[in-house]
Chains A and B, each alone.
Chain A
Amino acid sequence: MGRLLLCGQEAQIPYEVDELDLRLYTVEELCYYIYHYVPLLDDDFVDERLVRFIEHELDRPETAGKIRRFWHGPSDTDNTLYMLLSETGYYSESELSFFQEALSVRRKKSPPERALEAGITLMGMSRYQGALRRFSKLTGDRSDGRITDTIYIKALERSADCYGKLQAYDRAADCLERLYDETKGERVLEKLYDVCLLSGAEPDPLVFRKVSDETMKKWQESYWQTELLFKEEAEKDPVCQSCSQDPVTAEKELHAFAARIREESRRMLE
């Protein structure tokens, strides 16, 4: 037997989730966000901004009052969020159990593990800058004993991927070099080689001194095959199709377009 949920008030001024460039206008959307984005919910998610939003914009002073009474610190975050979701009635009991389980699983992870998970979640949503901010807490100062080698390595690897997506190849290369120092893995070197080719930089012979010529050649072939695939895909892109038909001019236009994107990405990262 279904039901019709009577919706609450729509906010005049939405609640902004900067990390996702997202605005929430109703209590239902807020619940949806909390339920579906558990990895992104930090301990400081419940704060005065959220409570004021619930109280004034969503016109739910009782709920806001309960949160103020209930929440005294980060350890109360999970229970507070559960209370908020159950108050609104948007989720059923079984869904709330699922949510509680998700919170419990997350709570068992260490803060670095949670940061890594959040960064990966953001990467999955193509939010690379947000992801990099999360990873940066794990790849900087390693004095926090909770940042294990595994976490450090994964964070570096993901950071390199993010920089690659943002076409900040020099930073991607930095990450991969640090990663290679840590793991000495050949796969990392291959990635580093790809980044060099992408950025147009000459691979540092010192870095690749242990790689045989045969392996380098194999990497080169693999790179150009991938480039060809990307080029074919790109040519299907409306942006490319709108470019000039003359191949020389088209090549220049594409390069100019790519350079513009890269420059915008670099500016975003600064």
Chain B
Amino acid sequence: MDEGLVIGYDFCKDFCRISYLDPRTGEPADHVFSDEQNPYIVQNSICRKKGSETWLIGEAAYETALFGDGYVVDKLLKLVSMDGFATFEGRRYSAEDLLTNFLRVSLKSLFDSQGTNRVAALFFSVQELSRELLDTIMRCAKRLGLERKRVHIISHTESFLFFVLSQKRELWSNLSVLYDLSGDGLNYYEMEILRGMRPNVAYARRTFLEEGFSVDILENPSGYRMADNIMTQSVERMLNRKLISSAYLSGNGMDNVQAWGTNFLKTLCSRRKVFFIENLFARGAVLAAADSLRETSAYPFSVMCEGRISVDITVEVCRNLNKVTLPLARVGGNWYESRADFDIIPDGEDTLVLKVRKLGERRPAEIGIPLNDIANRGNKKTRFGVSLAFTREDAFRVQVRDKGFGEFFPSTDAVVEKVFTVG
């Protein structure tokens, strides 16, 4: 395995949490940010001290601003989604600037505690995988000097999946479920192994529960009762007649569930193993990160969840003298990272045919892109550059460019781009 820290970074709406692989135990450990009431979280707030480029995060950020010694911005993810900015003492900071500094300070805290700043793998875990957020986080990581190949972004769903798979087999032999209550709302997750496919599929999905409530109501007895009722009904509805191997609770809203959720816990824990794991997503991200460093995955499954694509895309080509099926995207691949670039020269062929096979279907659908529309200068005299990339987990873009044929036939740079949705 590569030398350096293996890090899981859970980036929620209001907080972030960091876990890392403890080299002594080989298990995830939670980073302690402070000696506050909850030492494992830091609020997504950042403050720049007046008259300097010193940055503070979390409670320290709020305190500094409160005492008039700095300028604070919070809700960083929202700022990123709006492509917002902040201006301090006449200097403008983009959302990306602020996020970069936030990540720098938070990771420095971890590096200082572990005595190293070498990173073997850093997996971010976020709830919503929007292109803008992913691009911004990757740009921030680059600005922090982190190698592209060591940084990945996965969904909370995927973090949950890896967390569960790392538990004892008996805990995921049937369905595993998770209730996460936080500033992101109330989300319900399920994970199960779909057998009968080769390889078996580890499948997880998330449901945002509309009946969810804000954690702010958990401050008084009437709020307790309401929350308890809502959660109890949810368990009865979601878990009715399902065979559950394990149930998990996470999120800062579940911190004192024993105080407000008496009936809820009673219902949930009835003949089930229930675990409260506060840093579940960060730990799951660590486990995913650690697995990515192995030559062969410790989990012999195809992974299907939010952020993963559900299709195999291939093209039939000739390499030297042999016909080969070139894989362009695989079921279970991370959509953000699933891309393929290759060049072809058509020989007696005027169409680029891609085969798209959905998970569980035997026969692929065929997509044809006419090549003569882009360039037509005679047989085997055009090199086409083909680029395939996903724009989200259920849509991909194919770009075909005329690259000419060396100095014999110059390129026109004509390009055709098509977007396809996985229906």
Contact = CB atoms under 8 A, between A and B. Distances in A.
A3 B324 CA distance: 11
Contacts of B406: 23-26, 29, 32
Contacts of B323: 3
Interface string B402-423: 0001111000000000000000
A92 B316 CA distance: 18
Interface string A91-110: 01000000000000000000
B344 A5 contact: yes
Q: Is the interface of B mostly helix, strand, loop or mixed?
A: strand
Interface in A154-212: none
Nearest to B405: A29
A23 to B, nearest CB: 6
Given A2-B348, A2-B350, A7 B342 contact: yes
A89 interface: yes
A268 interface: no
Nearest to A21: B407
Question: Which range holds the interface residue count of chain B?
Answer: 20 to 34
Nearest to B315: A4
Nearest to A87: B320
Interface string B325-368: 01000000000000000111111111010000000000000000
Contact of A1 (B322, B348, B350, B408): B348
A117 interface: no
Contacts of A2: 346-350
B142 interface: no
B319 interface: yes
B108 interface: no
Interface in B8-53: none
A168 to B, nearest CB: 27
Contacts of B405: 28-29, 32
A26 B320 contact: no
A6 interface: yes
Given A87-B320, A88-B320, A89-B320, A4 B408 contact: no
Contacts of A29: 405-408
Contacts of B324: 6
A219 interface: no
A22 interface: yes
Interface string B296-334: 000000000000000000011111111110100000000
B383 interface: yes
Question: Which range holds the interface residue count of chain A?
Answer: 20 to 34
A91 B33 CA distance: 65
A65 to B, nearest CB: 15
Q: Is the interface of A mostly helix, strand, loop or mixed?
A: mixed
From A1, A2, A6, A88, name the one whose CB has the most chain B CB atoms within 10 angstroms: A6
Given A26-B406, A29-B406, A32-B405, A4 B317 contact: yes
Contacts, number: 75
Interface string A1-15: 111111100000000
A6 B408 contact: no
Contacts of B320: 87-89
B348 A3 contact: yes
A90 interface: yes
A72 B421 CA distance: 56
Contacts of A90: 345, 380
A87 B324 CA distance: 16
A28 B407 contact: no
Contacts of B346: 2-5
Contact of B318 (A6, A22, A86, A87): A6
A5 B348 contact: no
A5 B350 contact: no
A254 B347 CA distance: 48
A22 B346 CA distance: 23
B408 to A, nearest CB: 6
A102 to B, nearest CB: 17
Contact of A7 (B321, B343, B348, B352): B343
Contacts of A22: 407
Contacts of B342: 6-7
Contact of A5 (B380, B407, B408): B380
A7 B347 contact: no
B345 A5 contact: yes
B327 to A, nearest CB: 12
Nearest to B352: A4
From B315, B320, B343, name the one whose CB has the most chain A CB atoms within 10 angstroms: B320
From B318, B324, B346, B407, name the one whose CB has the most chain A CB atoms within 10 angstroms: B407
Nearest to B385: A7
A127 B79 CA distance: 64
B344 A26 contact: no
Given A3-B323, A29-B407, A32-B406, 12 more contacts: A3-B346, A4-B318, A4-B349, A5-B317, A5-B345, A5-B380, A6-B342, A23-B406, A28-B345, A28-B405, A89-B319, A89-B321
List the 5 closest pairs (A to B, CB-CB), nearest first.
A2-B349, A2-B348, A7-B343, A29-B406, A6-B317
18 contacts: A2-B346, A3-B347, A4-B345, A4-B346, A5-B344, A6-B318, A6-B342, A6-B343, A6-B344, A7-B343, A7-B345, A24-B407, A25-B406, A28-B345, A29-B407, A32-B406, A32-B408, A88-B320
